[in-house]
Amino acid sequence: MTTLFDPVKFGDIELANRIVMAPLTRNRSPKAIPNDLNAAYYEQRASAGLLITEGTPVTQQGQGYADVPGLYLPEAIAGWKKVTDAVHKKGGKIVTQIWHVGRVSHVSLQPNGNAPVAPSAIPAGGKTYIIDENGNGAFAETSAPRALEPGEIAGVVADYAKGARAAIDAGFDGVEIHGANGYLIDQFLKDGANQRTDEYGGSIENRVRFALEVVDAVAKEIGAGRVGIRLSPVTPANNITESQPQAVFNHLVEQLGSRNLSFIHVVEGATGGDRNFTQGDKPFDYHELKDIYRKAGGTGAWLVNNGYDKETAEQAVESGYADAVAFGKLFIANPDLVERFQTNASLNAPDNTTFYGGGAKGYTDYPALEAVA
């Protein structure tokens, strides 16, 4: 019987166990450059089967929050090298989540103070995190986006491929394409944000086109066996909505089935919230989604996330439904989560007042077991 502690292959990436660190934005990379503190944070968690870094914008246009690390400055690549070297020295495996926020941004973060871009000129609403004129972190309403011109889309697709190449140059074992949580790819997928009338909008086939073009460009650049994608069929994150999520995502994974990807990462329910949250006219069937992917020839690992604990994660893997499980908050507070699961040790509780921004407090100061012994 397969357990969480058995090795598993994510395409070309071999994991020592099936306990994955989920991507977690922490806003601790001023000027979008990864730093020594970031390296220490990921190194502490290197015993995970796989680390997926926080979202990493592929361009400044794709940046939506202050102090998140990017992949578009030479200094950032050097900074990420510190991270990947530190993790690899501990025998860990790490991929970065390549990201374009689309409409979830603010003009102060955009090149030349431009409007953010999106499939359609429909504001996200909600707030983002910026550095104000006094140099202080502050929350601000997201800025109204403009619709991408048809002639611009190929360039944005190419930006993801360039970001993936930069990730490999920085020493990552691969990338996760951020296709979830109401960001650009999710905005194209879902009818609440995509009301285009060209080949990227309207029908489900048209609305998945951008996601597939990004997947194909990234896979061509670095090899499909090093490419995963994160999806969140029914999340309400960033006010994203879809009237027929099952139909959209069944079609998407059916198309992904022939692309030999490393892994498919699925957020079940509302990201960081209610696992039973759903959109559309019926509860979302995640087992159906996986079955369609496999029937379409999909061999990528099936990675599940959102609200799992050790017991439910063990059930998901032992049943054969999931190949691995991603943990967010538990990895924030427990750098040695794998050992704690293996030894049934108690778990540190995460402090949500230090999730975003700041320094070592609530970031690299959570104690490991040996520190407590």
Ligand X SMILES: C=C(C(=O)O)c1ccccc1
Question: Shortest gap between Cβ of 237 and ligand X (angstroms)?
Answer: 6
Q: Considering beta carbons, is residue 17 or 181 the nearer one to ligand X?
A: 181
What backbone phi and psi angles, to 5 degrees, belong to 257? Answer: -55, -30
Q: Considering beta carbons, is residue 237 or 332 the nearer one to ligand X?
A: 237
Q: Does 269 bind ligand X (CB under 6 A)?
A: no
The Cα 133–Cα 37 span in angstroms is: 25
The Cα 346–Cα 222 span in angstroms is: 40
Q: Which helix (H) or strand (E) holds 138?
A: strand 137-141
Catalytic, out of 42, 65, 72, 183: 183
By CB under 6 A, how many residues form the interface with ligand X? 6
Q: Considering beta carbons, is residue 8 or 237 the nearer one to ligand X?
A: 237
218 contact partners, CB below 8 Å, separation of at least 6: 98, 160, 161, 164, 175, 177, 227
Q: Does 289 bind ligand X (CB under 6 A)?
A: no
Q: Considering beta carbons, is residue 65 or 327 the nearer one to ligand X?
A: 65
Question: Shortest gap between Cβ of 5 and ligand X (angstroms)?
Answer: 27
Residue 193-232 contact track with ligand X, rule CB under 6 A, x = bound = ----------------------------------------
Please name which of 161, 28, 147 lies closest in space to residue 98, comparing C-alpha atoms. Answer: 161
Q: Considering beta carbons, is residue 183 or 341 the nearer one to ligand X?
A: 183
Q: Does 105 bind ligand X (CB under 6 A)?
A: no
Q: Considering beta carbons, is residue 55 or 225 the nearer one to ligand X?
A: 55
In order of 180, 234, 272, 348, the CA distances from 139 in angstroms are 22, 25, 20, 28
183 is catalytic: yes
Question: Shortest gap between Cβ of 182 and ligand X (angstroms)?
Answer: 8
Please name which of 37, 64, 57, 50 lies closest in space to residue 9, comparing C-alpha atoms. Answer: 50
74-89 vs 150-169: helix crossing angle, rounded to 10? 40
Do 102 and 110 touch, CB atoms closer than 8 A? Answer: no
Question: Shortest gap between Cβ of 343 and ligand X (angstroms)?
Answer: 30
Which of 211, 237, 256, 303 is in the footprint of ligand X by CB under 6 A? 237
Long-range contacts of 304-310 (CB under 8 A, 24+ apart): 304/265, 304/266, 304/268, 305/22, 305/265, 305/266, 305/267, 305/268, 306/267, 306/268, 306/269, 306/270, 306/271, 306/272, 306/273, 306/275, 307/268, 307/269, 307/273, 307/275, 310/4, 310/341
Which of 41, 42, 65, 200 is in the footprint of ligand X by CB under 6 A? 65
Question: Shortest gap between Cβ of 315 and ligand X (angstroms)?
Answer: 25
Do 305 and 97 touch, CB atoms closer than 8 A? Answer: no
Residue 20-59 contact track with ligand X, rule CB under 6 A, x = bound = -----x-----------------------------x----
Question: Shortest gap between Cβ of 48 and ligand X (angstroms)?
Answer: 18
Tokens of 258: 């022939």
Question: Shortest gap between Cβ of 185 and ligand X (angstroms)?
Answer: 11
Residue 177-196 contact track with ligand X, rule CB under 6 A, x = bound = ----x---------------
Question: Which active-site residues does the annotation give?
Answer: 183
Instruction: Note the residues at the interface with ligand X (CB under 6 A).
Output: 25, 55, 65, 181, 237, 271
